Amino acid sequence: VMAQTAGRQAPPAVSGLKAEVGRTRVHLAWEPVSAAVAGYFIERRGEGEDQWLRLNGLVRPEPFYDDYYGPGRSGEFRYRIVAVGYDNQESRPGRDVSATLPDTVPPAAPHITSIDGSNGKVTLGFAPAGREEDTEQFLVLRALAPREPALVLGDPLPRKARSFEDTLVEAGKVYWYQLVALDKSGNRSDLGSAVAVRVGNQEIPAARKPEVQRLSEPFPHALIRFSA
């Protein structure tokens, strides 16, 4: 016959829980309880969730834990710790703490909707992809060949911008343009699809009507005046 001795009461609740947030993990540490315990269970609840998720199947003897949440996650996590005695009695959950994950999700790549190279300049029309509120700024990049690294032109464009004009071009040349979106956290989207355009000659304005004056000295002739 075998029997397991049960304690008179459950272990005390865990206190002193702290959460340190990194880019790919949350490091948890807490004060060890005064009673002898087999270990601890770590529980987590995500933003908008009602149930607590137990992260470790076996009790953890050390008073710390690393929760690797991986890339692409954002929002807030809440954590709490439960102490477990050698008789399997569990303590009341300790006071939970929150951990706000850094925003590492890049916005969707914007796309060029129109391009015009007439009149000695390039005019781009573009639009964001996905949700507009995910984009805070745009970067315009230009290259002289499809496989050449593109360079950023000027300062970032505001989130409401939908067009860009490039006047630092030469007539007859072909230029390749791409767009990149930035969010409020500085995350960059992938490069948008490259679009090429050949720059046309600048329009030559019509000359103004000249003024003609007939002169007789020192010989008969006509003096013509006109604006440049």
- Strand duo 157-158 + 137-143: pairing: antiparallel
Q: Is the pLDDT of residue 73 over 90?
A: no
Least confident of 27-31, 39-43, 199-203: 199-203
Retrieve residue 118's tokens: 């007439």
Residue 7 confidence (pLDDT) above 80? no
Element (H, E) at 99: strand 97-101
Q: Are strands 97-101 and 111-116 parallel, antiparallel or unpaired?
A: unpaired
Q: What is the dihedral of CA 91, 24, 21, 108, to 10 degrees?
A: -120
> What's the rounded mean pLDDT across residues 50-58?
94
Residue 133 confidence (pLDDT)? 86
Q: Is 87 left (phi over 0), alpha (psi -120 to 50) or beta?
A: alpha
pLDDT of 75 over the 90 cut: no
Is pLDDT above 80 for 70? no
Overall average pLDDT of the 43-54 stretch = 93
pLDDT for residue 192 is more than 90? yes
- What one-letter code names the amino acid at 149? P
Q: Whose structure tokens read 């009602």? A: 50
The pLDDT of 28-56, averaged and rounded, is 94
CA-angle at 181, arms to 194 and 127, nearest 5°: 70
Could you tell me where the DSSP H helices lie in the chain? none
In angstroms, rounded to a whole number, what is the distance separating the alpha carbons of residues 65 and 14? Answer: 14
Kindly report the backbone phi and psi dihedral angles of residue 161, in degrees, each rounded to the nearest multiple of 5, phi listed first: -65, 140
- 178: tokens are 């791409």
- 134 DSSP 8-state letter: G
**Predicted model pTM:** 0.62
Is the distance from CB of 42 to CB of 60 less than 8 angstroms? yes
pLDDT of residue 104: 81
> Mean pLDDT over residues 203-211, rounded?
88
